Structure 1
Amino acid sequence: MTVNIEPIQSQQDEAICAIIKAVGAEFGAVGEGFGPSDPEVFAMSQHYSQDSKSLYLVATLNGNIVGGCGIAPFAQSKQTCELKKLFLLPQSRGLGLGKALAEQCLDFAKQQGYVQCYLDTLTSMASAILLYEKLGFNHLDKPLDGTEHSRCDVWMLKIL
Protein backbone atom coordinates (compact mmCIF):
# COMPACT_ATOMS: atom_id res chain seq x y z
CA MET A 1 0.00 0.00 0.00
CA THR A 2 1.47 3.32 -1.11
CA VAL A 3 0.08 6.46 0.51
CA ASN A 4 0.96 9.98 -0.55
CA ILE A 5 -0.24 13.33 0.81
CA GLU A 6 0.58 16.54 -1.04
CA PRO A 7 -0.89 19.97 -1.83
CA ILE A 8 -3.66 19.96 -4.41
CA GLN A 9 -2.82 20.56 -8.05
CA SER A 10 -5.26 21.91 -10.64
CA GLN A 11 -5.49 18.58 -12.47
CA GLN A 12 -6.87 17.04 -9.25
CA ASP A 13 -9.78 19.51 -8.91
CA GLU A 14 -12.32 17.37 -10.74
CA ALA A 15 -11.54 14.21 -8.74
CA ILE A 16 -11.63 16.04 -5.39
CA CYS A 17 -14.91 17.73 -6.33
CA ALA A 18 -16.46 14.32 -7.11
CA ILE A 19 -15.19 12.87 -3.81
CA ILE A 20 -16.47 15.80 -1.74
CA LYS A 21 -19.90 15.61 -3.38
CA ALA A 22 -20.16 11.80 -3.13
CA VAL A 23 -19.06 11.59 0.52
CA GLY A 24 -21.23 14.57 1.39
CA ALA A 25 -24.25 12.80 -0.12
CA GLU A 26 -23.35 9.61 1.79
CA PHE A 27 -23.76 11.55 5.06
CA GLY A 28 -26.70 13.76 4.04
CA ALA A 29 -24.70 16.94 3.41
CA VAL A 30 -26.54 17.94 0.25
CA GLY A 31 -27.75 21.42 -0.62
CA GLU A 32 -27.14 24.94 0.59
CA GLY A 33 -25.61 25.30 4.04
CA PHE A 34 -23.29 22.30 3.67
CA GLY A 35 -19.60 22.30 2.67
CA PRO A 36 -20.05 20.19 -0.50
CA SER A 37 -22.21 23.00 -1.93
CA ASP A 38 -19.58 25.72 -1.45
CA PRO A 39 -18.53 27.27 -4.80
CA GLU A 40 -14.84 26.52 -4.07
CA VAL A 41 -15.51 22.78 -4.39
CA PHE A 42 -15.41 23.03 -8.18
CA ALA A 43 -11.83 24.42 -8.25
CA MET A 44 -10.19 23.74 -4.90
CA SER A 45 -6.67 24.41 -6.22
CA GLN A 46 -7.65 28.00 -7.03
CA HIS A 47 -8.94 28.68 -3.51
CA TYR A 48 -6.09 27.27 -1.43
CA SER A 49 -2.56 28.64 -1.54
CA GLN A 50 0.12 29.46 1.00
CA ASP A 51 -0.08 33.07 -0.20
CA SER A 52 -3.60 33.19 1.24
CA LYS A 53 -2.52 31.32 4.39
CA SER A 54 -4.50 28.28 3.24
CA LEU A 55 -3.67 24.77 2.15
CA TYR A 56 -5.63 21.86 0.71
CA LEU A 57 -3.98 18.46 0.83
CA VAL A 58 -4.86 15.49 -1.37
CA ALA A 59 -4.37 11.90 -0.30
CA THR A 60 -3.62 9.18 -2.82
CA LEU A 61 -3.68 5.46 -2.15
CA ASN A 62 -1.75 3.32 -4.65
CA GLY A 63 -1.82 6.27 -7.05
CA ASN A 64 -5.59 6.90 -6.81
CA ILE A 65 -7.03 10.05 -5.25
CA VAL A 66 -9.08 8.99 -2.21
CA GLY A 67 -9.71 12.26 -0.37
CA GLY A 68 -8.40 15.46 1.07
CA CYS A 69 -8.49 18.08 3.80
CA GLY A 70 -7.84 21.79 4.00
CA ILE A 71 -7.12 24.71 6.27
CA ALA A 72 -8.07 28.32 5.55
CA PRO A 73 -8.74 31.57 7.39
CA PHE A 74 -12.12 31.58 9.13
CA ALA A 75 -14.19 34.62 8.11
CA GLN A 76 -11.06 36.56 7.07
CA SER A 77 -9.55 36.16 10.55
CA LYS A 78 -5.81 36.33 11.07
CA GLN A 79 -6.05 34.35 14.33
CA THR A 80 -8.75 31.75 13.63
CA CYS A 81 -8.53 29.19 10.86
CA GLU A 82 -10.98 26.52 9.81
CA LEU A 83 -10.35 22.84 9.14
CA LYS A 84 -12.25 22.32 5.90
CA LYS A 85 -13.57 19.55 3.74
CA LEU A 86 -12.00 16.45 5.25
CA PHE A 87 -13.58 13.83 3.02
CA LEU A 88 -12.35 10.29 2.35
CA LEU A 89 -13.75 7.58 0.11
CA PRO A 90 -14.99 4.49 2.01
CA GLN A 91 -12.11 2.26 0.87
CA SER A 92 -9.57 4.63 2.41
CA ARG A 93 -11.15 4.99 5.85
CA GLY A 94 -9.62 3.37 8.91
CA LEU A 95 -6.08 3.65 7.56
CA GLY A 96 -5.11 6.77 9.47
CA LEU A 97 -5.39 9.04 6.44
CA GLY A 98 -7.89 11.39 8.06
CA LYS A 99 -5.62 11.82 11.06
CA ALA A 100 -2.55 12.37 8.86
CA LEU A 101 -4.35 14.92 6.68
CA ALA A 102 -5.76 16.82 9.68
CA GLU A 103 -2.44 16.83 11.56
CA GLN A 104 -0.56 18.19 8.54
CA CYS A 105 -3.22 20.91 8.12
CA LEU A 106 -3.01 21.82 11.82
CA ASP A 107 0.80 21.95 11.64
CA PHE A 108 0.49 24.33 8.67
CA ALA A 109 -1.99 26.45 10.65
CA LYS A 110 0.48 26.81 13.52
CA GLN A 111 3.24 27.80 11.07
CA GLN A 112 0.93 30.48 9.66
CA GLY A 113 0.43 31.96 13.12
CA TYR A 114 -3.18 30.95 13.73
CA VAL A 115 -4.05 30.60 17.43
CA GLN A 116 -7.23 28.56 17.14
CA CYS A 117 -8.94 26.28 14.63
CA TYR A 118 -12.69 25.96 14.10
CA LEU A 119 -14.68 23.30 12.28
CA ASP A 120 -18.28 22.41 11.70
CA THR A 121 -19.65 19.02 10.76
CA LEU A 122 -22.67 16.76 11.11
CA THR A 123 -23.72 14.38 13.86
CA SER A 124 -23.96 11.68 11.17
CA MET A 125 -20.17 11.89 10.69
CA ALA A 126 -19.51 10.13 13.99
CA SER A 127 -16.08 8.73 13.15
CA ALA A 128 -14.90 12.18 12.03
CA ILE A 129 -16.13 13.68 15.30
CA LEU A 130 -14.18 11.03 17.24
CA LEU A 131 -11.06 11.93 15.25
CA TYR A 132 -11.53 15.63 15.96
CA GLU A 133 -11.94 14.93 19.67
CA LYS A 134 -8.72 12.85 19.67
CA LEU A 135 -6.96 15.76 17.93
CA GLY A 136 -7.96 18.06 20.79
CA PHE A 137 -11.03 19.80 19.40
CA ASN A 138 -13.68 20.74 21.96
CA HIS A 139 -17.40 20.97 21.31
CA LEU A 140 -19.09 24.37 21.12
CA ASP A 141 -22.75 25.10 21.95
CA LYS A 142 -23.24 27.08 18.75
CA PRO A 143 -21.31 27.96 15.59
CA LEU A 144 -18.84 30.82 15.56
CA ASP A 145 -20.24 34.02 14.09
CA GLY A 146 -19.44 34.05 10.40
CA THR A 147 -19.83 30.35 9.65
CA GLU A 148 -20.92 29.61 6.10
CA HIS A 149 -22.44 26.23 6.90
CA SER A 150 -25.80 26.98 8.45
CA ARG A 151 -27.06 23.39 8.30
CA CYS A 152 -24.20 21.75 10.23
CA ASP A 153 -25.13 20.68 13.75
CA VAL A 154 -21.72 20.06 15.37
CA TRP A 155 -19.23 22.88 16.02
CA MET A 156 -15.76 22.44 17.46
CA LEU A 157 -12.72 24.54 18.34
CA LYS A 158 -9.09 23.72 19.09
CA ILE A 159 -6.53 26.04 20.61
CA LEU A 160 -3.32 25.73 18.62
Structure 2
Amino acid sequence: MPSITISLIQPDDNQTIAYIVRSVLTDFGLNRPGTAFADTALDHLSEIYNVPRSVYYVARVDGEIAGGAGIYPLEGGPAHICELQKMYLLPAFRGKGIARTIIENCLDFARKENYTHCYLETMPELVQAVKLYEYFGFYHLDGPLGNTGHFTCINWMLKEL
Protein backbone atom coordinates (compact mmCIF):
# COMPACT_ATOMS: atom_id res chain seq x y z
CA MET A 1 0.00 0.00 0.00
CA PRO A 2 1.53 3.34 -1.03
CA SER A 3 2.04 6.04 1.57
CA ILE A 4 0.05 9.19 0.72
CA THR A 5 0.82 12.46 2.47
CA ILE A 6 -0.76 15.87 2.07
CA SER A 7 1.31 18.91 3.07
CA LEU A 8 1.52 22.64 2.53
CA ILE A 9 3.42 23.73 -0.56
CA GLN A 10 7.06 24.65 0.01
CA PRO A 11 9.36 26.70 -2.24
CA ASP A 12 11.12 23.49 -3.34
CA ASP A 13 7.76 22.20 -4.66
CA ASN A 14 7.12 25.14 -7.03
CA GLN A 15 8.93 23.76 -10.07
CA THR A 16 7.35 20.31 -9.83
CA ILE A 17 3.80 21.59 -9.35
CA ALA A 18 4.23 24.03 -12.26
CA TYR A 19 5.45 21.13 -14.41
CA ILE A 20 2.45 18.98 -13.39
CA VAL A 21 -0.10 21.71 -14.20
CA ARG A 22 1.46 22.47 -17.56
CA SER A 23 1.93 18.83 -18.55
CA VAL A 24 -1.65 17.87 -17.67
CA LEU A 25 -3.04 20.82 -19.63
CA THR A 26 -0.77 19.93 -22.56
CA ASP A 27 -2.02 16.31 -22.45
CA PHE A 28 -5.57 17.63 -22.94
CA GLY A 29 -4.60 20.16 -25.62
CA LEU A 30 -5.30 23.02 -23.23
CA ASN A 31 -1.83 24.57 -23.22
CA ARG A 32 -2.98 28.00 -24.29
CA PRO A 33 -3.79 31.49 -22.98
CA GLY A 34 -6.83 31.78 -20.74
CA THR A 35 -5.93 28.66 -18.73
CA ALA A 36 -3.65 28.04 -15.74
CA PHE A 37 -1.00 27.07 -18.32
CA ALA A 38 -0.35 30.76 -18.99
CA ASP A 39 -0.46 31.93 -15.35
CA THR A 40 2.79 33.68 -14.50
CA ALA A 41 2.15 32.87 -10.83
CA LEU A 42 2.45 29.16 -11.58
CA ASP A 43 6.20 29.20 -11.00
CA HIS A 44 5.82 30.83 -7.57
CA LEU A 45 2.83 29.12 -5.96
CA SER A 46 4.42 28.85 -2.51
CA GLU A 47 4.63 32.66 -2.45
CA ILE A 48 1.22 33.26 -4.03
CA TYR A 49 -0.55 31.07 -1.47
CA ASN A 50 1.35 32.57 1.46
CA VAL A 51 -1.38 35.11 2.18
CA PRO A 52 -4.30 35.09 4.63
CA ARG A 53 -7.24 32.78 3.87
CA SER A 54 -5.34 30.81 1.23
CA VAL A 55 -3.57 27.47 1.10
CA TYR A 56 -2.03 25.12 -1.44
CA TYR A 57 -1.75 21.42 -0.65
CA VAL A 58 0.72 19.07 -2.27
CA ALA A 59 0.00 15.33 -2.43
CA ARG A 60 2.93 12.93 -2.28
CA VAL A 61 2.86 9.20 -2.91
CA ASP A 62 5.83 7.43 -1.38
CA GLY A 63 7.57 10.81 -1.31
CA GLU A 64 6.95 11.65 -4.99
CA ILE A 65 4.82 14.70 -5.76
CA ALA A 66 1.61 13.49 -7.42
CA GLY A 67 -0.20 16.82 -7.68
CA GLY A 68 -1.98 19.44 -5.66
CA ALA A 69 -4.75 22.01 -5.28
CA GLY A 70 -5.37 25.25 -3.48
CA ILE A 71 -7.91 27.61 -1.99
CA TYR A 72 -7.65 31.33 -2.65
CA PRO A 73 -10.03 34.28 -2.19
CA LEU A 74 -12.01 34.73 -5.41
CA GLU A 75 -10.37 37.55 -7.39
CA GLY A 76 -12.91 40.31 -7.90
CA GLY A 77 -15.54 38.42 -5.90
CA PRO A 78 -17.18 38.81 -2.50
CA ALA A 79 -15.09 37.99 0.58
CA HIS A 80 -17.25 34.98 1.47
CA ILE A 81 -16.43 33.10 -1.77
CA CYS A 82 -13.15 31.27 -2.26
CA GLU A 83 -11.89 29.52 -5.36
CA LEU A 84 -10.60 25.97 -5.67
CA GLN A 85 -7.56 26.44 -7.87
CA LYS A 86 -4.95 24.46 -9.77
CA MET A 87 -6.28 20.99 -8.96
CA TYR A 88 -4.03 18.73 -11.01
CA LEU A 89 -2.67 15.19 -10.67
CA LEU A 90 -0.21 13.31 -12.81
CA PRO A 91 -1.91 10.52 -14.82
CA ALA A 92 -0.19 7.70 -12.87
CA PHE A 93 -1.86 8.86 -9.65
CA ARG A 94 -5.45 9.28 -10.85
CA GLY A 95 -8.24 6.96 -9.76
CA LYS A 96 -6.65 6.26 -6.37
CA GLY A 97 -8.65 8.69 -4.21
CA ILE A 98 -5.85 11.24 -4.03
CA ALA A 99 -7.85 14.02 -5.69
CA ARG A 100 -10.74 13.41 -3.29
CA THR A 101 -8.36 13.69 -0.33
CA ILE A 102 -6.87 16.94 -1.62
CA ILE A 103 -10.31 18.46 -2.28
CA GLU A 104 -11.54 17.41 1.17
CA ASN A 105 -8.54 19.15 2.73
CA CYS A 106 -9.18 22.27 0.64
CA LEU A 107 -12.88 22.42 1.53
CA ASP A 108 -12.14 21.85 5.24
CA PHE A 109 -9.67 24.74 5.12
CA ALA A 110 -12.25 26.95 3.37
CA ARG A 111 -14.84 26.23 6.06
CA LYS A 112 -12.34 27.05 8.82
CA GLU A 113 -11.65 30.37 7.08
CA ASN A 114 -15.40 31.13 7.17
CA TYR A 115 -15.98 31.04 3.44
CA THR A 116 -19.62 30.23 2.67
CA HIS A 117 -19.12 29.14 -0.96
CA CYS A 118 -16.38 27.61 -3.07
CA TYR A 119 -16.15 28.45 -6.76
CA LEU A 120 -14.14 26.80 -9.50
CA GLU A 121 -13.56 27.02 -13.21
CA THR A 122 -12.72 24.14 -15.47
CA MET A 123 -13.07 22.99 -19.06
CA PRO A 124 -15.36 20.40 -20.64
CA GLU A 125 -12.32 18.41 -21.86
CA LEU A 126 -11.57 17.54 -18.23
CA VAL A 127 -14.52 15.15 -17.99
CA GLN A 128 -13.30 13.17 -14.96
CA ALA A 129 -12.57 16.36 -13.04
CA VAL A 130 -16.06 17.71 -13.71
CA LYS A 131 -17.57 14.41 -12.47
CA LEU A 132 -15.45 14.62 -9.33
CA TYR A 133 -16.56 18.20 -8.64
CA GLU A 134 -20.20 17.18 -9.13
CA TYR A 135 -19.62 14.30 -6.67
CA PHE A 136 -18.55 16.91 -4.11
CA GLY A 137 -21.74 18.90 -4.67
CA PHE A 138 -20.49 21.59 -7.00
CA TYR A 139 -23.25 22.71 -9.34
CA HIS A 140 -22.96 24.37 -12.72
CA LEU A 141 -23.44 28.11 -13.19
CA ASP A 142 -24.54 29.96 -16.31
CA GLY A 143 -21.57 32.33 -16.20
CA PRO A 144 -18.36 33.13 -14.37
CA LEU A 145 -17.92 34.78 -10.99
CA GLY A 146 -15.16 37.21 -10.11
CA ASN A 147 -12.30 38.09 -12.42
CA THR A 148 -9.96 35.09 -12.68
CA GLY A 149 -8.59 35.83 -16.15
CA HIS A 150 -9.25 32.24 -17.26
CA PHE A 151 -11.38 33.10 -20.27
CA THR A 152 -10.87 29.65 -21.82
CA CYS A 153 -12.57 27.98 -18.84
CA ILE A 154 -16.24 27.69 -19.77
CA ASN A 155 -17.43 25.40 -16.97
CA TRP A 156 -18.19 27.48 -13.88
CA MET A 157 -19.17 25.65 -10.72
CA LEU A 158 -20.12 26.62 -7.16
CA LYS A 159 -20.59 24.75 -3.90
CA GLU A 160 -22.15 25.92 -0.65
CA LEU A 161 -19.88 25.08 2.27
Sort the TM-score into its range (normalised by shorter chain).
Answer: over 0.9
Q: How far apart are the structure 1 equivalents of 2:133 and 2:155?
A: 11
- The amino acid across from 1:22 in the alignment is S
**1:73 to 1:145, Cα distance in 2 relative to 1, 3 A:** closer
How many residue pairs end up in the alignment?
159
Moved over 3 A (4+): none
Q: How big is each residue's C-alpha offset from its partner over 1:15-66, in whole Å with a ceiling of 9 and x where there is no partner?
A: 11111110111122212110121111001100112x4210000011111111
Query: 2:123 matched to 1:122?
Result: yes
- Corresponding residue number in structure 2 for 1:65: 65
Structure 1 gaps of 5+ residues are none
Q: How far apart are the structure 2 equivalents of 1:105 and 1:148?
A: 22
- Corresponding residue number in structure 1 for 2:83: 82
Q: How far apart are the structure 2 equivalents of 1:5 and 1:29?
A: 27
The CA RMSD measured in Å over matched residues stands at 1.1
Deviation at 1:145, TM superposition (A): 3.8
- Corresponding residue number in structure 1 for 2:16: 15
- Corresponding residue number in structure 1 for 2:29: 28
Structure 2 length-normalised TM: 0.95
Structure 1 length-normalised TM: 0.95
- Corresponding residue number in structure 1 for 2:7: 6
Aligned to 2:29, the other structure's residue is in SS state coil
Asked whether the equivalents of residues 29 and 35 of structure 1 are also in contact (C-alpha less than 8 Å), the reply is: no
